[in-house]
Amino acid sequence: MFVSRKENKIQKLGEMMSEYNRLNHCKFLIQYHIIWCPKFRFNVLNEKIELELRGILRIISERYGYEIKEMEIMP
């Protein structure tokens, strides 16, 4: 799962469009790659838990203004 903070400013660099945050003396892009691994790698993330987890993560991302760019939950 990749998460980045939403900002209003979007800057074009060449043909690619990237979302950068800007301050007076810097420009930055913060993204997180989060991986959860259950203890002993048991298959605990079944379909029911996957649906609940997706819902919780979407609620949190909307509350704090984050954008989930990609999400994959594997058992």
Total domains present in the chain: 1
Is residue 75 domain-resident? no
Q: What is the pTM of this model?
A: 0.60
Is residue 12 domain-resident? yes
Summarize the confidence of residues 43-57 as an average pLDDT.
89
pLDDT greater than 50 at residue 9: no
Residue 59, both tokens: 């609620």
pLDDT at 63: 94
Is residue 27 domain-resident? yes
Nearest to 3 by CA among 57, 75, 51, 63: 57
Is residue 44 domain-resident? yes
Q: Would you place residue 47 in the very low, low, confident or very high pLDDT band (cuts 50, 70, 90)?
A: confident
Q: What's the Rg (C-alpha) of the chain?
A: 16
pLDDT at 5: 53
pLDDT greater than 70 at residue 16: no
State the residue range of the domain holding 52. 2-70
Is residue 47 domain-resident? yes
Summarize the confidence of residues 62-75 as an average pLDDT.
85
Is residue 39 domain-resident? yes
Is residue 54 domain-resident? yes
Is residue 19 domain-resident? yes
